[in-house]
Amino acid sequence: MKISELLDPEAIVADLQAKDKGTALAELTDSLISCDPSLDRDEVIAVLQEREKLGSTGIGDGVAIPHGKLAGMPELKLVFGRSSSGVDFESMDGQPAYLFFLLIAPEESVGVHLKTLARISKLLKDAVVRKKLLDAPDQQAIYQVILDEEG
């Protein structure tokens, strides 16, 4: 399954306002909830914060992939966010994060969860792709970059 098939274009936040990790997680979660109001905001944030306690999901190169598993989720959900000013996400390289993929998966899923994380990591490992995502003018252009890269 492709990232573009899992990512609702409405779940793209082209201009994150957050300045810190907690606010970024909340802002990304709000985008998720706007696309799926059946989810409990506090529960999603709690799952993400628990995962962060194990180690930051800020993987470096300006990228963070906060993720977690939630009981009762029918399918995996993705949100993309971009911050023009950067967020201190306690990343491995000590640098701010600018590009975010938030991933919430059903509790019992293993394979699709790991495959999606690997796909996102592979996509964002490419400096050219990161630059295109940073330079895209709006939500639709960001989604188009992802579509083009998965071609």
Residue 72's pLDDT is what?
85
pLDDT by 10-residue block (mean), the chain, 151 residues: 92 96 97 94 96 94 96 92 96 96 91 91 96 98 96 84
State the total domains in the chain: 1
What is the pTM (predicted TM-score) of this model?
Answer: 0.95
- Tokens read off for 80: 């993309």
CA dist 85 to 105, 121, 132, Å? 28, 22, 16
Q: Which residues are catalytic?
A: 67
Residue 79's pLDDT is what?
97
28 and 79 Cβ atoms separated by less than 8 Å: yes
Domain span holding position 102: 3-150
How many angstroms separate the CA atoms of 96 and 64, rounded? 9
Q: CATH number for the domain including 78?
A: 3.40.930.10
- What is the phi/psi pair of residue 23, to 5°? -70, -35
Catalogue the E-assigned strands of 34-144. Answer: 58-60, 63-64, 67-70, 77-87, 97-106
